[in-house]
């Protein structure tokens, strides 16, 4: 009889944990994170080995930490906005300083642009010089090729022909194999 009560107790406990998991999951989905965490912690005190509840509790804690960070970020952004408004309200002195800073930035930007243009111009000149040099070398190669006269060309051609004949002589003739003459079907 004790065994039956024990089995019923365990079954009830497991069913209760599943029910608590469902309730806490619904609370999590609705955004009521503190209540969901409290419910899971109570269930884990009764059954600390329930992995589903542990996993859900961990997820809820992560979400709560994320919400806290978001709130802190929002507060810092609000503080920055207030600071900017105070600076703008301080008067013309702040505006004049900002205008001077903007003018200085524009001036430095213009100077940087001029430097870039000068560098680009220098690079373009180098590229042009390289192209000119390549064209000169190509012209020299063409002139050298034109300097070969007709006699030299014939001599080179005859030498090539002689080399070809020697190569053909060295190559042994291949005797064909005799095919059987018979029916071929």
* pLDDT tens digits for range 136-146: 887 776 666 56
The total number of structural domains that make up the chain: 1
Confidence of residue 174 (pLDDT cuts 50, 70, 90): low
**CB-based contacts of 61: which residues, under 8 Å, 6+ apart?**
37
Instruction: Kindly state the average pLDDT of the residues 172-180.
Output: 62
Residue 182 or residue 114, greater confidence: 114
**Does 107 reside within a domain?**
no
**Does 169 reside within a domain?**
no
Confidence of residue 91 (pLDDT cuts 50, 70, 90): low
Residue 125 or residue 142, greater confidence: 125
Of all residues in the chain, what percent carry a pLDDT higher than 90? 3
Q: Domain of 38: which CATH number?
A: 1.25.40
Confidence of residue 65 (pLDDT cuts 50, 70, 90): very high
Does position 9 have pLDDT exceeding 70, yes or no? no
**Does 151 reside within a domain?**
no
**Does 21 reside within a domain?**
yes
**Does 112 reside within a domain?**
no
Angle between helical axes of 2-30 and 51-89 (0-180°, round to 10): 20
Does position 8 have pLDDT exceeding 60, yes or no? no
3-state secondary structure of 55: helix
Question: How many Cα atoms are found within 13 Å in the side-chain-facing hemisphere of 36?
Answer: 25
**Does 33 reside within a domain?**
yes
3-state helix, strand, coil in the chain (%, to 5): 85, 0, 15
**Does 172 reside within a domain?**
no
Confidence of residue 97 (pLDDT cuts 50, 70, 90): low
Does position 7 have pLDDT exceeding 60, yes or no? no
66: domain range?
A: 2-89
* Residue 87: how many other CB atoms lie within 10 Å: 13
149: left (phi over 0), alpha (psi -120 to 50) or beta: beta
**Does 177 reside within a domain?**
no
Contacts 24+ apart (CB under 8 A), 30-38: 33/60, 33/63, 33/64, 33/67, 34/64, 36/60, 37/61, 37/64
- Mean of the per-residue pLDDT values of the chain: 78
Q: Are 21 and 59 a contacting pair, CB within 8 Å?
A: no
- Beta-strand ranges (E) seen in the chain are none
Radius of gyration of the chain (CA): 46
């Amino acid at each position: 009889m004790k065994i039956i009560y024990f089995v019923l107790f365990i079954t009830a406990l497991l069913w209760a944990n599943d029910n608590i998991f469902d309730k806490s999951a619904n609370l999590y989905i609705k955004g009521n994170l503190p209540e969901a965490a409290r419910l899971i912690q109570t269930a884990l005190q009764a059954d600390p080995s329930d992995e589903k509840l542990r996993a859900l509790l961990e997820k809820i804690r992560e979400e709560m930490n994320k919400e806290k960070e978001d709130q802190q970020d929002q507060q810092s952004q609000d503080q920055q906005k207030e600071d900017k408004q105070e600076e703008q309200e301080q008067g013309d002195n702040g505006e004049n300083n900002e205008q001077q800073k903007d003018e200085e930035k524009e001036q430095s930007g213009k100077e940087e642009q001029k430097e870039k243009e000068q560098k680009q111009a220098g690079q373009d000149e180098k590229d042009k010089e390289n192209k000119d040099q390549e064209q000169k070398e190509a012209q020299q190669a063409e002139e050298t090729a034109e300097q070969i006269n007709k006699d030299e060309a014939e001599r080179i051609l005859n030498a090539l022909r002689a080399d070809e004949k020697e190569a053909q002589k060295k190559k042994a003739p291949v005797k064909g194999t005799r095919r059987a003459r018979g029916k071929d079907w």
